[in-house]
Amino acid sequence: MNDIRVMVTGPCATATAALMQAVADGPVLATDIVTDVPGAPPVEVGSHAGTVMGVASFTAGDGTRLLLFGTPGADRGWELVAALTGEVDVAIFVVDAHAEHTHAEAGVVLRSLLQTLRVPLVVAVNRCDDPAEARTLASSLGVPDGARVMGCQLVDPRSGRDVMIETLDTLLLSLDAVDRQVA
């Protein structure tokens, strides 16, 4: 099987970077920007700067390599999300159950993404252990009933790996369904 391209996206402060760091085989390559205000010194990376894109890889137990493309959560990232939707095999949308201030933006972005996304989607609800709570939050954001939704704790690398396994399983089930339709 060729490399599987995975988009990891979601609003700011939902742990998309933590997911990538938890599962990456090596360091996450990040393209950072430094915010520059005319007449003021540049802002140090890490304070008000943002990652334009993160790239990492994850190798599954069978040797399948997932290439992870993380997008920034700020408004400037949604154009990148739109551009990537046609270039990836599967997408992960991360939302934080406790960051309620991000839910309205998450719903808008997710509904927009679902209009153009033509690949399977996994919704990872961070800081949530209750599958019913994860499904309720995802439904309130506009996730269709049949979409894969899972609760996770992305501070734990094992939980990040579980998200990757769920993502790979979702993609394989989708490919299997396509094969049955063609046959």
Which has more confidence, 52 or 158? 158
How many separate domains does the chain show?
1
In the sheet that holds 90-96, the strands lie side by side as 29-33, 50-59, 65-70, 4-9, 90-96, 121-126, 148-152
110-115: list long-range contacts, CB under 8 Å, 24+ apart: 110/141, 110/142, 110/143, 111/141, 111/142, 112/78, 113/9, 113/81, 113/85, 114/142, 114/143, 114/144
Place 76 in a pLDDT band, splitting at 50, 70 and 90. low
Give me the CATH number covering residue 77. Answer: 3.40.50.300
**Arithmetic mean of pLDDT, 101-117:** 87
Going by pLDDT thresholds of 50, 70 and 90, the confidence category of residue 81 is low
DSSP state letter for 125: E
Residue 142 has pLDDT above 90, yes or no: yes
Helix or strand holding residue 69 (H, E): strand 65-70
pLDDT digit string, tens, across residues 8-52:
988 877 788 888 888 888 888 776 544 444 444 444 444 434 455
> pTM for this one?
0.82
Domain that holds residue 48: 4-182
pLDDT at 73: 64
Residue 181 has a pLDDT of: 65
Which residues have CB under 8 Å from 115's CB, separation 6+?
Answer: none
| Average confidence (pLDDT) over 103-111 | 88
